[in-house]
Amino acid sequence: MRSFAPLVLSLLGATAAVHAAEPEVADTDANVVTLTTETFDEFVKEHPLVLAEFYAPWCGHCKALAPHYEEAATELKAKDIPVIKVDCTVEEELCRTYEVDGYPTLKVFRGPDAHKPYAGARKSDAIISYMTKQSMPAVSNVNEENLEEFKALDKIVIIGYVASDDSASNKSFTSFAESQRDNFLFAASNDAALAKAEGAKQPSIVLYKEFDEKVAVYDGKLEEEAILEWVKTASTPLVGELGPETYSKYMAAGIPLAYIFAETPEEREQLAADFRPIAENHRGAINIVTLDAKLFGAHAGNLNLEPEKFPAFAIQDTTKNAKYPYDQTKKVDAKDIGKFIKDVLEGKVEPSLKSEPIPETQEGSVTVVVGRNYQEVVVDNEKDVLVEFYAPWCGHCKSLAPKYEELAALYADVPELNEKVTVAKVDATANDVPDSITGFPTIKLYPAGAKDSPIEYSGSRTVEDLVAFIKENGKYQADGLADGSKKPEERAEVTSAPKATESPASDEKDIHDEL
């Protein structure tokens, strides 16, 4: 572990020395430095850590990021962490080199050949926090003199109090810190007196945070999996605010998420206080958040709530995509909803299911699936099932439709193939489905005997390629073109951009794009 003392001076101290300007760079004194193909490699070679944005001037998400990026760059410049940008409409070859396939793309560089995707939120505080973590060792050393300074470096810091001769605990803590360094700041101390002063013993881990009880102590076995589960729980507010910086974390937590929709800050603050004892009672089993209904109220519809009728409450099982809306004719009362939460967690409440009516007859070769028969048609059968998740407004879906119908006919019209393969589609805007769908069309194959492991299709949207995909990945290796009825060259691609998908409609877009 590297000493923390000299590092804290640079991170907390005054402005770092400004690097000499590269002759080719137009404005190296800017907080966000603009680089070109000619200047990029030399710049990242001279700086041990660089945050780079690859953007396009016309990109709306890039424009939304710009003020946050500039604000973060201003503070990171004082910590000697350069923040740069590259215009991909001009520097096309450079962007291809770094596999930029969307805008904005943010990457962390440690030299031209050592880079990784930026994995934080696109807000100034999150960018500053993430890059500060990148600039520090996986585990810093703290002592009585610099402990308080270290605590102030981020909203959450984690310190291991482990005796120097406890090699097993030191190894486990260091290994865990290295695996989580993108998410948290870590330090360690072998001073038993300091541990005691902090209300801990050796070995133990203390998580310092700016919310709730401020300090959480873990004194169980220092095993990585156990530490991770504890940290995930201890680092999550009892009742948090769902927003752009927290959405991904909550969705990836692996436990149900309860939403409290309210329109005013005062109402959200009061409801958060009311629900805090309930959140404490179910800590680690469910996360509870408030949500600004004025900004993100459309998301209520995705949870099978009536939008625009607030306050409102719903629970989502994020792993199964099951939804449990609370009766909107009732008042959002913490005591009553506390029982509802308990019943949901105990499996006493049936999930809500949004579904169109089951078709009385199937027209055409493509099997139409709805929420109520999804399990039966897609999961509970012995066939390989190819499913297109579409939206009625999606232009790419409309372009695909005739080819998809042609594909389905190859299997539906041949009895021995029809027994092995179903080609289906479901309107994912009107029906609840188990999978989370973030773009349209999304095509997945559910192989017989392996329905829990669907395979998403990412190839060109031609009949030949879809047939090959089914043959290669399905259990039965059924070949819809075995009779050679049409030559590949007789078929045209559906679209010039075959992998393109369209974002969900506005109600989905609010939660996925804004959050």
- Copy the structure tokens of residue 359: 């078709």
Distance (Å, whole) CA 191 – CA 142: 9
| pLDDT bracket for residue 436 (50, 70, 90) | confident
| pLDDT bracket for residue 26 (50, 70, 90) | very low
Q: Spell out a b/e string for 253-262, using b for 16 or more CB atoms within 10 Å of the CB, else e.
A: bebbbbbbbb
| pLDDT bracket for residue 14 (50, 70, 90) | very low
Catalytic hit among 30, 49, 59, 481: 59
Distance (Å, whole) CA 443 – CA 425: 9
**The three-state (H, E, C) secondary structure of 157-200, written as one string:** EEEEECCCCCHHHHHHHHHHHHHCCCCCEEEEECCHHHHHHCCC
Is 397 among the residues known to form the active site?
Answer: yes
The continuous run of DSSP H or E covering 412 comes out as helix 395-412
- Per-residue pLDDT at 498 exceeds 80: no
Q: Using alpha carbons only, give the angle 193, 198, 201 rounded to the nearest 5 degrees.
A: 60
Q: How far is residue 96 CA from its own chain's centroid?
A: 24
Q: Phi and psi of 245, rounded to 5°?
A: -85, -15
pTM: 0.70
- Copy the structure tokens of residue 228: 């991770």
Closest CA to 58 of 83, 87, 82, 31: 87
Is 95 among the residues known to form the active site?
Answer: no
**The three-state (H, E, C) secondary structure of 365-403, written as one string:** CCEEECHHHHHHHHHCCCCEEEEEEECCCCHHHHHHHHH
- The predicted pLDDT at position 252 comes to 86
Closest CA to 52 of 35, 38, 29, 71: 35
467-485 per-position pLDDT tens digit? 999 999 999 999 988 764 4
Kindly give the pairing relationship between strand 185-189 and strand 105-109.
Answer: unpaired
Distance (Å, whole) CA 457 – CA 436: 15
289-296: average pLDDT: 95
| pLDDT bracket for residue 248 (50, 70, 90) | confident
Distance (Å, whole) CA 224 – CA 221: 9
Q: Give the domains, in start order, of the chain with CATH numbers.
A: 33-133 (3.40.30.10), 136-235 (3.40.30.10), 239-346 (3.40.30.10), 367-473 (3.40.30.10)
Amino acid at 482: A
Q: Which residues contact 222 (CB under 8 A, 6 or more apart)?
A: 160, 162, 168, 169, 172, 173, 203, 205
43-61 per-position pLDDT tens digit? 999 999 999 999 999 999 9
Catalytic hit among 56, 272, 386, 394: 394
Work out the number of other CB atoms within 10 angstroms of the CB of residue 114.
Answer: 9
- Per-residue pLDDT at 321 exceeds 90: no
- Per-residue pLDDT at 258 exceeds 70: yes
8 A C-beta contact, residue 25 and residue 43: yes
Q: Using alpha carbons only, give the angle 251, 254, 258 rounded to the nearest 5 degrees.
A: 60
Closest CA to 119 of 514, 127, 229: 127
Distance (Å, whole) CA 244 – CA 220: 33
| pLDDT bracket for residue 501 (50, 70, 90) | low
3-state class (DSSP) for residue 41:
helix
Beta-bridge partners for 215: 208
- Copy the structure tokens of residue 302: 């995705």
As a whole number, the mean pLDDT across the chain is 87
- Copy the structure tokens of residue 21: 């300007």
- Copy the structure tokens of residue 79: 């910590």
Is 394 among the residues known to form the active site?
Answer: yes
Beta-bridge partners for 385: 422, 446
- The predicted pLDDT at position 495 comes to 36
- Per-residue pLDDT at 10 exceeds 60: no
- The predicted pLDDT at position 289 comes to 97
- The predicted pLDDT at position 314 comes to 98
- Per-residue pLDDT at 3 exceeds 70: no
8 A C-beta contact, residue 334 and residue 270: no
Torsion angle of C-alpha atoms 350, 351, 354, 356, degrees rounded to 10 = -40
- The predicted pLDDT at position 7 comes to 34
Is 88 among the residues known to form the active site?
Answer: no
Kindly give the pairing relationship between strand 384-390 and strand 367-369.
Answer: unpaired
Catalytic hit among 62, 162, 262, 271: 62
Work out the number of other CB atoms within 10 angstroms of the CB of residue 6.
Answer: 8
Beta-bridge partners for 130: none
- Per-residue pLDDT at 101 exceeds 90: no
Distance (Å, whole) CA 55 – CA 60: 10
192-244 per-position pLDDT tens digit? 999 999 999 999 999 999 999 999 999 999 999 999 999 999 999 999 999 87
- The predicted pLDDT at position 435 comes to 83
Poorest-pLDDT segment among 17-31, 60-74, 404-418:
17-31
Distance (Å, whole) CA 14 – CA 79: 8
Distance (Å, whole) CA 229 – CA 158: 14
Q: Phi and psi of 57, rounded to 5°?
A: -60, -30
- The predicted pLDDT at position 29 comes to 64
- Copy the structure tokens of residue 261: 């929709």
- % the chain with pLDDT above 90: 76
